[in-house]
Structure 1
Amino acid sequence: MSARPDVLVVGAGIIGAACAMRLAEEGLAVSVIDKARPAGETTASAMGQITVMDDSEAQGALTAWSQELWDALAPSLPGIEHDPCGTLWVASNADELDDARTKERWYSERGITASVLDPAALRDAEPYLSEDLVGALHVPGDSVVYPPNAALSLLDRAVRKGATVTTGCDVRAVDATHAILADGSRMEAGAVVCAAGNRTLQLLPHSIPGVALRPRKGHLAITERYPGLLSHQVVELGYLRSAHGHDDVSVAFNGQPRTTDQVLIGSSRQYDRTSDDVEPEVLARMLARACRFMPALATCTVVRCWTGFRPSTPDNLPLIGPIPGAEGSWIATGHEGLGITTSLGTAHLIADGILGRPSAIDPTPYLPHRFAESEHE
């Protein structure tokens, strides 16, 4: 890296790749560095949904904006296996069907197409789901991508705009305008964006008051090829309680069709784990949950299982913005299970912040110093 770049991006996962692409498209000189291969850690263990979520206004704003950005960009990224399959939020009882109607109103109020399906319409849409499901919310605008290819495609666009990507860089710390490597050398830039997933806070020059990242382990499994088995992303309506709960171990059904005719099965969530080994008991619970909603999976062959660690925050919102007390340094992490969805919106927020201009959505809910402010209220 001979010339001093305008921006140094630490981390070549989906978030770092998106930031690099956006900054390079703005005409800035961008360098991306990572210790490992691009898209090789959290991104490689993600499901790949591009989904508008209604669990909070801030999450809804970021996911909806990001989905619009993905819809505009995806046609120019043919290798990402983009599938505009839509989502079915399935209800197993009357209370969950009421939840589906509440979600439908939320989407409708924000101009997002969604409709409640009765049991017959649900069976027409997905004939291999459990016959005792009482309905579903259909959100046709959702989609899925293959995360590693998506991240690599974003990096490729960044490189075509002049960015550089360097692997084998073991970053041990960042400050306002430098990344310090394990060998003691320093890489200098006009600004530094730290998008290193679970390691991000460990690299900062100082702690941010009230801010913590908690790695959350998740299991995934993928089947052999079964053409026609699943055509929508299917998520149980209890998913958000699992995703945002703080139980030691939780599972919920999320099934995704892949363009390869395989079915990707999730999901589990665990705190306070350090090993990335597949845990047979957790995997069995997750697969049993999937078979409850989609009995046909019980006869399918699972060809691969794996795990990953997703960085989560106490309020379930990502950390996006300047690092307090370190002018020139920025942070983008804490997206937990929505990093693929929100990567493009995150990149726009980072680029707008660095360039000193307003964003399409209010960046305040995602700023890293928000926890310190809440402690003083």
Structure 2
Amino acid sequence: MVLATGYDVVVVGAGIVGAACAEALAAAGVRVLVVDRGGVAGGTTAAGEGNVLVSDKEPGPELDLAIASRREWPAVLKRLPERVADVEWEPKGGLVVATTDPAPLEAFAEVQRSAGVDARVITPAEAFELEPLLTRAVTTAAYYPDDAQLQPVLAATALLAAVRARGREVRAGVNALAVRRSDAGRVTGLETDAGVVPCGAVVNACGPWAGAFSEAAGGPIQVLPRRGMILVTAPLPVCVRHKVYDADYVGAVGSGEADLQTSTVVESTRGGTVLIGSSRERIGFDDAVRVKVLRELARKAVGLFPFLAGVPVMRAYGGFRPYAPDHLPVIGADPRIEGLWHATGHEGAGIGLAASTGRLITELFLGLAPHVDPNPFRIDRPALLPAWVVS
């Protein structure tokens, strides 16, 4: 069975990255279809905190993308239909604190400033003015006014509503199986369990499942799942005013270790709950809840905000983040298969980087000048290709 008359692009994956790609493409007039084997934002996006951060990345390509994406998000939100425009966008700012040697955090803020980030080293007293309930063990802090937050499921849903509003399509419950190609090797369609969708290009935005889909599509890349857990407290009056995390978080984000790593991230939501993270471990797609992880998150959070010791935890949830071995997203055309594209590998930064990822995919697809250098995110970099492909 052949479905519909054809599309310019089919985006596989209805999470935040796939939704951002589809919205940007649709806004540029591209005929786009989004398919997902589950529901909208039902995978990694549903398990995210909604971070839009510039504070947690070392100078380099990912930080450049993060800075661009932080600028892009407000423009994207302005394009959304008014009825779905409230995605709980909060440009609240971020606060990074150290409770031991202040020198590493101060040095990190300095190198970020050299890369264009507004990073302000402040005294403990100034940190307590920003966050009165913070532990008095703080030795130094860095304030990042550009850090922001949104509600990831609302954001993905709103982006896809904008796709539909422009006359494009979104289909849930459709499992992408393979890419159909012409004799010359160019993409001509997407094979699904509901039939073949004729198209000129396919974007692999499958998150932690992107590696599996890339193999099925004939262009294998190494994208692995990295699990994270989050605690959610009962609703409280607003008690944490910013996104607050300890200085260890930056090291955990950039680490390639497979073993469990935890660092403290605490923030309030508009609904009054407090989100407590974060953990990282490479254990495949094992979704078993590990009490030791939750205990570690709780212990470290109380160390940062002592008042949390008396606050009940309402629930915990976890998800799988798409991890690339060199810690860089995968964005662009696959040089091995004309018409196959990838937008994945953002790990825990997908929410923040989605806006610029969508714009970059659109610029490259239409042959426009890219707003950030796409070369660091190319598909044929050695760290991304399986060894058997490189050899």
**Which bracket does the TM-score occupy, shorter chain normalised?**
over 0.9
Aligned partner of 2:87 among 76, 80, 85: 80
- Against the structure 1 CA distance between its residues 371 and 133, is the aligned structure 2 distance closer, same or farther, given a 3 Å change threshold? same
| Residue number in structure 2 paired with 1:48 | 50
- The whole-number CA distance in structure 1 between the counterparts of 2:292 and 2:58 is 29
Deviation at 1:62, TM superposition (A): 0.5
- Against the structure 1 CA distance between its residues 202 and 373, is the aligned structure 2 distance closer, same or farther, given a 3 Å change threshold? closer
State the AA in 1 paired with 2:73: W
Asked if 1:65 is matched to 2:86, the reply is no
Deviation at 1:276, TM superposition (A): 1.6
Q: Write out per-residue CA displacement over residues 177-227 of structure 1, whole angstroms, 9 at most, x where no aligned residue.
A: 3221236x311111111111122222233244xx41121111111111111
Deviation at 1:291, TM superposition (A): 1.1
- The whole-number CA distance in structure 1 between the counterparts of 2:88 and 2:213 is 33
Structure 1 alignment gaps of length 5 or more: none
- Against the structure 1 CA distance between its residues 373 and 167, is the aligned structure 2 distance closer, same or farther, given a 3 Å change threshold? closer
- The whole-number CA distance in structure 2 between the counterparts of 1:55 and 1:110 is 9
State the AA in 2 paired with 1:213: V
Deviation at 1:109, TM superposition (A): 2.6
State the AA in 2 paired with 1:201: G
8 A contact 2:238–2:268 mirrored in 1 = no
- The whole-number CA distance in structure 2 between the counterparts of 1:29 and 1:229 is 45
State the AA in 1 paired with 2:197: M
Deviation at 1:272, TM superposition (A): 1.8
- Against the structure 1 CA distance between its residues 299 and 331, is the aligned structure 2 distance closer, same or farther, given a 3 Å change threshold? same
Aligned partner of 2:239 among 229, 235, 241: 229
8 A contact 1:224–1:301 mirrored in 2 = yes
Aligned partner of 1:195 among 190, 205, 208: 205
- Count residues with an aligned counterpart: 371
State the AA in 1 paired with 2:135: S
Structure 2 alignment gaps of length 5 or more: 181-186
- The whole-number CA distance in structure 2 between the counterparts of 1:158 and 1:314 is 32
More divergent stretch after superposition (67-76 vs 22-31): 67-76
- The whole-number CA distance in structure 1 between the counterparts of 2:260 and 2:53 is 24
- The whole-number CA distance in structure 1 between the counterparts of 2:5 and 2:261 is 48
State the AA in 2 paired with 1:315: D
Aligned partner of 1:142 among 147, 150, 155: 147
State the AA in 2 paired with 1:225: P
- The whole-number CA distance in structure 1 between the counterparts of 2:58 and 2:193 is 40
Equivalent residues in 2 for 1:193-272, closer than 5 Å: 193-204=203-214, 205-208=217-220, 211-245=221-255, 246-272=257-283
4+ residue segments displaced more than 6 Å: 372-376
Q: Write out per-residue CA displacement over residues 158-187 of structure 1, whole angstroms, 9 at most, x where no aligned residue.
A: 11122100111111223523221236x311
| Residue number in structure 1 paired with 2:26 | 24
State the AA in 1 paired with 2:196: R
More divergent stretch after superposition (75-84 vs 58-67): 75-84
Deviation at 1:333, TM superposition (A): 0.7
% identity of equivalent residues: 33
Deviation at 1:83, TM superposition (A): 1.1
8 A contact 1:169–1:181 mirrored in 2 = yes
3-state DSSP of counterpart to 1:217 = strand
Aligned partner of 1:89 among 80, 96, 102: 96
More divergent stretch after superposition (169-178 vs 8-17): 169-178
8 A contact 1:251–1:286 mirrored in 2 = yes
- The whole-number CA distance in structure 2 between the counterparts of 1:306 and 1:321 is 31
Aligned alpha-carbon RMSD (Å): 1.8
8 A contact 1:201–1:207 mirrored in 2 = no
Deviation at 1:356, TM superposition (A): 1.4
State the AA in 2 paired with 1:153: A
8 A contact 2:224–2:284 mirrored in 1 = no
User: TM-score w.r.t. structure 1 length?
Assistant: 0.94
- The whole-number CA distance in structure 2 between the counterparts of 1:358 and 1:223 is 45
3-state DSSP of counterpart to 2:317 = strand
3-state DSSP of counterpart to 2:281 = strand
3-state DSSP of counterpart to 1:190 = strand
8 A contact 1:6–1:189 mirrored in 2 = yes
3-state DSSP of counterpart to 2:373 = coil
Aligned partner of 2:189 among 168, 178, 197: 178
